[in-house]
Structure 1
Amino acid sequence: MNILGLIVEYNPFHNGHIYHLSKSIEKTNATHTVAIMSGNFLQRGEPALFDKYTRAKIAVENGVDLVIELPTMFACQSAEIFSHGAITILNSLNCISSVCFGSEEGNTDILYSIAEILANEPKEFKLLLKKYLDDGMLFPVARANSLFDYIHQYENSDLSQKTTKEQLLKILNSSNNILGIEYIKNLINLNSNIKPFTISRVQSEYNSKEIDNSICSATAIRTSLKENCNISQLKKVIPEKTYSILNEKIDNKFFPMFDELFFDTLKTIILRDISNLKDYFEVNEGIENKIYKDIFTSNSLYELQLSIKSKRYTLTKIKRTLNNILLGIKKSDIHLVKDIDIVPYIRILAFNDKGREVLKEIKNKSNIDIINKFSNISFSLDDAIFKTLISYDIKSTNIYNSVYYRNNQGLVKGPMDFYTRPIYVK
């Protein structure tokens, strides 16, 4: 069995994902596929368009064999923490042969060379980094400059001979390259046997908002749905299975979710918890005072985000910070889980018959707890990491569903994680 790992959000699953899936299987000769997928809140600090079970079902309908939820505490954070959580899950399964991700660079060797330096952190690199940070540079810029200087001063490799400073900066400033480097770095740190592969992204930039080809960015799709909740306009850029399932959800009044829908809830939390805001992850350097001051004059979440944004705090970082406040994610809890080398459980969201074969393989080769029904969870376990991760999964689902089910309140039975079973796609 040759099992391919994928790390995804599928928000939503579009033609570019079909391309990536088929090319990844072709490149790795995989017989089975496992996707580690973010749940109801995502890496850029925003809610998923549709719930995690719907997105997982769509993924399996389009060719993925098994979808496992990436715990909320990893899914909503920076590339470093997000990647660590996803790679640690794949490695903990003890049966994954490869992982394949999309990147702007499209060259695993270059990304691997960079990841090795970041994973090993040679003394010379750390000294260069300290110098640039002491000069007042922001960390991403300081790291990029340190990498370039280290590579060209201390390494005699293809990387030093083939990359100019401009090329290296471009690699390090591209969203999917950053994630890819972090994936590889975590594979190195875990001494994993999983082999990394990459597929070049095609036709559309990650943040492009134009729908002008059969493959466009998920950002363009989300923007289109936000401006006009008419899924028929997306027929040429999403697979038929995606269209059919999402159209049914909208017909049943489960409408796409956007972060603005949580503004009133966030505002209440900020006003209530002003004395505790500094306890939330990424709330640093007194930014809680700026958040509290500006919440009174902001008429929307976007206005609040823009008022806090600065040279030091990018819009994406601000979105993640506010999302941590919304979900109640505390610094102490992140510090507890961010460096774990084995994940204590996996949550199954959807699978097919080949996915069942993978689950059997996982049971044979790993001691990881496989959660099919939340009602089987024992909260008396003395495992702080397990309980911390699972509690945030439940909490985030409850917060998400408080808005997602606004037109279907009669369907809410309680904490829906306890009432929803994995979806089997025949």
Structure 2
Amino acid sequence: MNILGLIVEYNPFHNGHLYHLTKSRQTTNATHTVAIMSGNFLQRGEPALFDKYTRAEIAIKNGVDLVIELPTMFACQSAEFFAHGAITTLNSLNCIDSICFGSEEGNVDILYTISKILVNEPDEFKASLRKYLDEGMLYPTARSLALFDYINKFNLLDISKEKLLSILNSSNNILGLEYMKCLLKLKSNIKPFTISRVSASYNSENIDSNICSATAIRKSLKDYNNLSLIKNVVPSPTYDILENKLINNFEPMFDDKYFDLIKSIVIRENNLLDKYFDVNEGIENKIYQNVFTSSTLNDLQLSVKSKRYTLTKIKRTLNNILLGITKEDMNIVKDITSIPYVRILAFNDKGREIIKAIKNNSDINIINKFSKTSFSMNDKVFKTLIDYDIKTSNMYNLVYYKNNQHLLKGPMDYYISPFYVKNMCFKK
């Protein structure tokens, strides 16, 4: 058995994801695939279009064998924390042979060389970094120049300064570098691979071909509320399942649907906002000042945006406030070197084989249903992570089930079992 690990959001699963899945299997010669997938809130600081169980079902019907939830506390943070949570989860399974991620660069050796320098921080690199920082440069710029100096001095790569800057400023490269940094820090045996992104870029908002970005798909659904517009850019299982959700009055979720909740929390906890993770440098004051005059969440985000605070930073900050993720609780989990549990969201028969391999090779807690989980455990990390998973699902479902209140039985993590697809076989 050769098990490939994937780190995903599938928001939603589109043709580009199918290409990545197929190409990753080919590149790694994998026989089985496990996806670590964000739950109901995502890395950009926004809710998922559809709930985690629906997205996991779509993943299995498109060829993934096992879907495991990435704990919420990592899923909606910056690249460093997102990658740390995902890689630590995969490594804790103790049976994953490889990971394969999409990148703009497409050359894993280049990304690995850069990652190794950033993890080890050789003296020459640190000296160069200090020099640029002393000259008043911002840290990202200083780090890029110090990296180039070190690479050039020791002739580690044949790369121009412009190419290096491009690598360090591209979304998927950034995540890939963080994945490999974490693998190095954990001394993991998981082997990294990467494949080049095809067609649309990560942030592209245009649907120009049968492969486009998830950003473009979400924008199309939000602007036109017409599922048929994305029919040619998603596999048929994705389209059919999403169509069924819409028929049953489950609407796509966008961050502005949580604006009233965010406003209420900001106003109620005005003097306590700085306890939340990523709320620093006085950003809480700007948020509070502008919450009264902002008509929409986008208005609030743009009113806080500045050279100091990027839009993505603001979105994550507001999301941490919404979900109640505190600095104190993040300090409990942010440096962990193993994950105490995994939450199974969906699987097929090959997924069963992976679960068996996890049980044979790791002592990690495997959770199928939260009602079968003991919450009296003395493991502080376990309790902190799982409490946020349940709490944030409840926050999501308050809005997601608005048109289907009769289906909301309570905390749905206690009522929904993993989705199982029997005898689904896909070619490598």
The TM tier, using the shorter chain, reads over 0.9
Q: Which amino acid aligns with 1:4?
A: L
Give the aligned partner of residue 35 of structure 1: 35
How far does the alpha carbon of each residue in 1:100-146 deviate from its partner, in whole angstroms, 9 at most, with x for none?
Answer: 00000000000000000111111222233333334443332222222
Kindly indicate whether residue 304 of structure 2 is the aligned counterpart of residue 305 of structure 1: no
Q: Which amino acid aligns with 2:83?
A: S
Give the aligned partner of residue 220 of structure 1: 216
Give the aligned partner of residue 151 of structure 2: 151
Give the aligned partner of residue 393 of structure 1: 389
Q: Distance in 2 between matches of 1:391 and 1:134?
A: 43
Task: Tell me how far 1:384 sits from its aligned partner.
Answer: 0.5
Q: Which amino acid aligns with 1:132?
A: Y
Kindly indicate whether residue 372 of structure 2 is the aligned counterpart of residue 376 of structure 1: yes
The match for 1:199 among 184, 195, 200 is 195
Give the aligned partner of residue 255 of structure 2: 259
Q: What secondary structure sits across from 2:114 in the alignment?
A: helix
How far does the alpha carbon of each residue in 1:17-75 deviate from its partner, in whole angstroms, 9 at most, with x for none?
Answer: 11000000001000000000000000000000000000000000000000000000000
Q: Distance in 1 between matches of 2:419 and 2:136?
A: 51
Give the aligned partner of residue 234 of structure 1: 230
Q: Which sections of structure 1, spanning at least 5 residues, go unmatched?
A: none
Q: Distance in 1 between matches of 2:144 and 2:299?
A: 31
Q: Distance in 1 between matches of 2:385 and 2:177?
A: 25
| 322-331 or 140-149, larger mean C-alpha shift | 140-149
Give the aligned partner of residue 292 of structure 1: 288
Superposition TM-score, scaled by structure 2 size: 0.97
RMSD between aligned residues: 0.9
Kindly indicate whether residue 205 of structure 2 is the aligned counterpart of residue 209 of structure 1: yes
Asked if the contact 1:76/1:320 (under 8 Å) is kept, the reply is: yes
Give the aligned partner of residue 278 of structure 1: 274
Task: Tell me how far 1:334 sits from its aligned partner.
Answer: 1.1
Q: Distance in 2 between matches of 1:348 and 1:174?
A: 31
Q: Distance in 2 between matches of 1:140 and 1:295?
A: 30
How far does the alpha carbon of each residue in 1:157-203 deviate from its partner, in whole angstroms, 9 at most, with x for none?
Answer: 2x1xx211110000000000000011111111110110000010001
Q: Distance in 2 between matches of 1:412 and 1:361?
A: 35
Q: Which amino acid aligns with 1:19?
A: Y
Q: Distance in 2 between matches of 1:392 and 1:192?
A: 27
Give runs of aligned pairs for residues 77-116 of structure 1, distance below 5 A.
77-116=77-116
Q: Distance in 2 between matches of 1:54 and 1:320?
A: 24
Superposition TM-score, scaled by structure 1 size: 0.98
Give the aligned partner of residue 426 of structure 2: none
Q: Distance in 2 between matches of 1:278 and 1:131?
A: 32
Task: Tell me how far 1:8 sits from its aligned partner.
Answer: 0.2
Give runs of aligned pairs for residues 348-367 of structure 1, distance below 5 A.
348-367=344-363
Give the aligned partner of residue 68 of structure 1: 68
Q: What secondary structure sits across from 2:97 in the alignment?
A: strand
Give the aligned partner of residue 175 of structure 1: 171
Q: Distance in 2 between matches of 1:198 and 1:277?
A: 39
Give the aligned partner of residue 48 of structure 1: 48
Q: Distance in 2 between matches of 1:129 and 1:269?
A: 40
Q: Which amino acid aligns with 1:67?
A: V
Task: Tell me how far 1:150 sits from its aligned partner.
Answer: 2.2
Q: What secondary structure sits across from 1:278 in the alignment?
A: helix
Give the aligned partner of residue 26 of structure 1: 26
Q: Distance in 2 between matches of 1:337 and 1:196?
A: 24
Q: Distance in 1 between matches of 2:198 and 2:163?
A: 19
Asked if the contact 1:138/1:312 (under 8 Å) is kept, the reply is: no
Asked if the contact 1:60/1:425 (under 8 Å) is kept, the reply is: yes
Q: Distance in 2 between matches of 1:344 and 1:132?
A: 41
Q: Distance in 2 between matches of 1:401 and 1:350?
A: 19
Q: Distance in 2 between matches of 1:323 and 1:406?
A: 20
Asked if the contact 1:379/1:387 (under 8 Å) is kept, the reply is: yes
How far does the alpha carbon of each residue in 1:297-324 deviate from its partner, in whole angstroms, 9 at most, with x for none?
Answer: 1111111111111112111111111100
Q: Distance in 1 between matches of 2:403 and 2:273?
A: 32
How far does the alpha carbon of each residue in 1:312-358 deviate from its partner, in whole angstroms, 9 at most, with x for none?
Answer: 21111111111001101111111111111110000000000000000
Q: Distance in 2 between matches of 1:123 and 1:288?
A: 37
Q: Which amino acid aligns with 1:189?
A: K
Q: Distance in 1 between matches of 2:396 and 2:138?
A: 33
Q: Distance in 1 between matches of 2:126 and 2:102?
A: 29
Q: Distance in 2 between matches of 1:139 and 1:371?
A: 41
Give the aligned partner of residue 425 of structure 2: none
Asked if the contact 1:37/1:70 (under 8 Å) is kept, the reply is: yes
Task: Tell me how far 1:266 sits from its aligned partner.
Answer: 0.2
Q: Which amino acid aligns with 2:301?
A: Q
Q: Measured at CA, do residues 298 and 137 of structure 1 come closer, stay the same or move farther in structure 2, by a change above 3 Å?
A: farther
Q: What secondary structure sits across from 1:408 in the alignment?
A: helix
Task: Tell me how far 1:149 sits from its aligned partner.
Answer: 2.1
Q: Distance in 2 between matches of 1:366 and 1:130?
A: 42
Give the aligned partner of residue 184 of structure 1: 180
Task: Tell me how far 1:379 sits from its aligned partner.
Answer: 1.3
Give the aligned partner of residue 245 of structure 2: 249
Q: Distance in 1 between matches of 2:214 and 2:155?
A: 39
Count of residues paired in the alignment: 422
Task: Tell me how far 1:413 sits from its aligned partner.
Answer: 0.7
Q: Distance in 2 between matches of 1:344 and 1:358?
A: 18
